[in-house]
Chains A and B, each alone.
Chain A
């Protein structure tokens, strides 16, 4: 464990995420010293110790309606994830859903997802994935449900416990040959949104597709993310939470910490390890371990990366 040290210039900050224990069904985030850190859902003792009264969850890629061999019961695994959240000893302040709530933007898929997710009994802040805006109105169905108090294709910001949260949409108006895309209108909004904030305000950005170049060959990146990250440079603590790639990945670059969450529906292969990024078939008895098993403790610099497994199947 290390703590976070900030210097005056804001360039060579040492960013350490303590106790980053991941559980594939969701990631519980605690805020310590202005730096969000994740805590394994199952590790109640660690959670209690690490939290300063403010926790939030991230779930992602529920793909409600998915019924292919990689997981014929995506609704069941989402339910298991929600049951775990309900069983948490300390209720999180809210949840972030980083998109692909549904598989095909169908009304019954949105309904089923909402019914289960709302069952957790905590407020949920959504951003859409590309699967959530393939209705005839290319996103109308999503906005009707989740677009209240949002701009454009569904972006917004809010503040909680002194942290500024920004939900971005990088799955709309995609361009031929491109990757994820934020677009001029959203970037201008972001610049304005950040203007009144002090450099010391902790920032959490969440969006579906990774905002860093994970693997462009598979479309895992966002074309104009660099502009958004440019606006975020002056802030001492920036955490970027994404989904889309159905696996854990993390990167620290300057003052920005990037993370991707696992899916609650099916895994996808590691970059370049398969002919395509399509759903990865694992033996049925292994599925829950793939979805719900990984916990990582990460500290930059001095201390070692530690991985703790907490298998969903063990419960």
Chain B
């Protein structure tokens, strides 16, 4: 995960007040989704990467989508086209939660 990129996105958000359709990365580390909440523009592809030595997965709260188990270093990507809030959790460790906010 590039903190620089996040910082850049944050800076842009401050200036423009809207999100950009820029691809976003979420790192899974120490049994947390980092960052746990991201705001993206419709059309954004979000990629999760597992940096832990134990598998994790990405499951939408109502299981509308579910990744395969991600072993160390593996990734899962989803493109979000519609505005809305998508809550998700780890299917193996459900106390791990995250949220994607899609807004134009």
A275 lies within 8 A of B30 (CB): yes
A177-B68 contact, Cβ under 8 Å, with A278-B30, A278-B54: no
Given contacts A68-B72, A104-B69, A179-B94, contact A276 B31 (CB under 8 A): yes
List chain B residues, Cβ under 8 A from A131.
Answer: 55, 69, 92
Instruction: Closest A residue to B60 by CB, please name it.
Output: A176
* Min CB gap A21→B, angstroms: 30
Q: Chain A residues with Cβ under 8 A from B32's Cβ? A: 276
A285 at the interface (CB under 8 A from B): no
Q: Is the beta-carbon distance between A276 and B30 smaller than 8 angstroms? A: yes
Query: Which residues of chain A (243-300) have a CB below 8 Å from chain B?
Result: 275-279
User: With an 8 A cutoff between CB atoms, is B35 at the interface?
Assistant: no
A174 contacts B94, C-beta separation under 8 Å? yes
For the residues of B in contact with A, the DSSP-based class is: loop
Are A177 and B30 touching (Cβ within 8 A)?
A: no
Given contacts A134-B68, A176-B97, contact A279 B92 (CB under 8 A): no
Shortest CB-to-CB span from A295 to chain B, Å, is 28
Please classify how large the interface on chain A is, using the bins under 10, 10 to 19, 20 to 34, 35 or more.
Answer: 20 to 34
B53 near A177: Cβ-Cβ < 8 Å: no
CB within 8 Å for A174 and B91 given contacts A69-B53, A134-B57, A278-B54: yes
- Residues in B with CB closer than 8 Å to A103 are 55
Give the one of B55, B66, B68, B95 with max A CB within 10 A.
B95
Interface residues of A (CB under 8 A from B): 68-70, 103-105, 130-131, 134, 136, 138, 174-179, 216-219, 275-279
Q: What would 11 more interface pairs be, CB under 8 Å, given A68-B54, A131-B69?
A: A69-B53, A104-B71, A105-B69, A130-B93, A136-B68, A174-B91, A176-B59, A176-B94, A177-B94, A177-B95, A219-B93
21 pairs from A and B in contact (CB 8 Å cutoff): A103-B55, A104-B55, A130-B91, A130-B93, A134-B55, A134-B68, A134-B92, A138-B66, A174-B92, A176-B59, A176-B87, A176-B88, A176-B89, A177-B97, A178-B94, A179-B94, A216-B95, A218-B31, A218-B95, A276-B31, A277-B31
